């Protein structure tokens, strides 16, 4: 099964609207019509609308970094799926390890967001991954299984192919320490096996599973060549057009 690769840039709390527009223009100039790879940029909420204007008529998609599961109401500081949709957002990162760690997000809460995103035609990028302590204590696969099963509770077979999963070992995020290709492929294959048990092989083969954690042009080619690695969720290297574009090109060239 050939799955179309995905390269998604997570800008985190970086870039003003003006900075985001400049970065997006540079990316568009290089790969605006790239259709062999699904390219997604995920600016902070404050830059979504300005970046959306730059992306008008381009193949590059717009993603948010978070959302609240409720439609509206007394949730100060939060933003709903419906609000994101009005800004031409198509993807949303959910359950990033920084939100799990700093904002105490649980699998149950992340699951509510996944269901709300899907109900509003947003494609969730569901992040999972173990901490260094969990890897060292040999619980990586159990942790990832709990996060995948918890995040996907109630997701129907019809909805599953709209979900993108990102395996991001927490110890590799923003640290410069990338997982070895064997470490990454092992967990990706485990996630696909789990999806096969939950949804059957035909659907499991269609789900894109991205790697995230210090991915950059120098290590991407080897990672993207792995059988179950279908792209990357990129932090640091997405903040600069040159490295992001190189990653998109590496994904386009990967078999
Ligand atoms: C991320 O935060 O999703 C990420 C992968 O960051 P970095 O590429 O900087 O490790």
On whether residue 231 sits in a domain, the answer given is: yes
On whether residue 58 sits in a domain, the answer given is: yes
Q: Domain tally for the chain? A: 1
DSSP-derived letter for residue 242 is H
On whether residue 221 sits in a domain, the answer given is: yes
Rounded mean pLDDT of 125-139?
A: 97
On whether residue 153 sits in a domain, the answer given is: yes
Distance from the alpha carbon of residue 99 to the mean position of ligand 1, in angstroms: 13
Q: Which domain holds residue 137?
A: 6-253
On whether residue 147 sits in a domain, the answer given is: yes
Counting every residue, how long is the chain? 255
What does the pLDDT read at residue 1? Answer: 63
What does the pLDDT read at residue 2? Answer: 83
Rounded mean pLDDT of 93-113?
A: 98
Rounded mean pLDDT of 144-161?
A: 98
Tokens representing 78 are 């939060």
Is the CB of 173 inside a 6 Å radius of any atom of ligand 1? yes
On whether residue 81 sits in a domain, the answer given is: yes
On whether residue 132 sits in a domain, the answer given is: yes
On whether residue 1 sits in a domain, the answer given is: no
Rounded mean pLDDT of 2-15?
A: 97
Distance from the alpha carbon of residue 207 to the mean position of ligand 1, in angstroms: 21
Q: Which residues of 133-169 are buried (b: 16+ CB within 10 A; e: fewer)?
A: ebbeeeebeebbbebbebbbeebeeebbeebbbbbbb
68 classed as catalytic: no
96 classed as catalytic: yes
Which of 65, 94, 233, 237 maximizes ligand 1 atoms within 8 Å of its Cβ, making it the mutation to test the pocket?
A: 233
Averaged confidence pLDDT in the chain: 96
Q: Residue 43 is part of a domain; what is its CATH number?
A: 3.20.20.70
Question: What atom in ligand 1 is closest to the CA of residue 96?
Answer: 3
Residue nearest (by alpha carbon) to ligand 1 atom 1:
235
Of 34, 68, 91, 96, the catalytic one is 96
- CB–CB of 198/149 below 8 Å? yes
Which helix (H) or strand (E) segment holds residue 209: the answer is strand 209-212
Residue 82 has pLDDT above 90, yes or no: yes
Higher pLDDT, 143 or 177: 143
Confidence class for position 111, pLDDT limits 50, 70, 90: very high
Percent residues over pLDDT 70 in the chain: 100
Residue 33 has pLDDT above 80, yes or no: no
pTM of the model: 0.97
Rounded mean pLDDT of 151-167?
A: 98
């Amino acid at each position: 099964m050939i799955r179309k690769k995905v390269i998604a840039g997570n800008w985190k709390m970086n870039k003003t609207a003006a900075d985001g527009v400049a970065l997006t223009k540079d990316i568009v100039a290089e790969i605006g019509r790239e259709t062999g790879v699904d390219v997604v940029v995920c600016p902070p909420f404050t830059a979504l609308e300005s970046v959306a204007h730059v992306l008008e008529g381009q193949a590059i998609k717009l993603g948010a970094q978070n959302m609240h599961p409720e439609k509206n109401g007394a949730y100060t500081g939060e933003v709903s799926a419906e609000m994101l949709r009005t800004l031409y957002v198509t993807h949303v990162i959910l359950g990033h390890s920084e939100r799990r760690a700093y904002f105490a997000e649980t699998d149950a809460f992340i699951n509510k967001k996944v269901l709300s995103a899907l109900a509003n035609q947003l494609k969730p990028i569901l992040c999972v991954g173990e901490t260094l302590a969990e890897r060292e204590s040999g619980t990586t696969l159990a942790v990832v299984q709990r996060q995948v099963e918890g995040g996907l509770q109630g997701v129907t077979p019809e909805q599953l192919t709209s979900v993108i999963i990102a395996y991001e070992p927490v110890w590799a995020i923003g640290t410069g320490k990338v997982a070895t290709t064997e470490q990454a492929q092992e967990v990706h294959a485990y996630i696909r096996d789990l999806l096969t048990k939950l949804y059957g092989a035909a659907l499991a083969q269609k789900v894109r599973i991205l790697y995230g954690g210090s991915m950059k042009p120098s290590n991407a080619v080897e990672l993207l060549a792995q059988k179950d690695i279908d792209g990357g969720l990129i932090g640091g290297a997405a903040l600069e057009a040159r490295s992001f574009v190189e990653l998109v090109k590496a994904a386009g060239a990967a078999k």
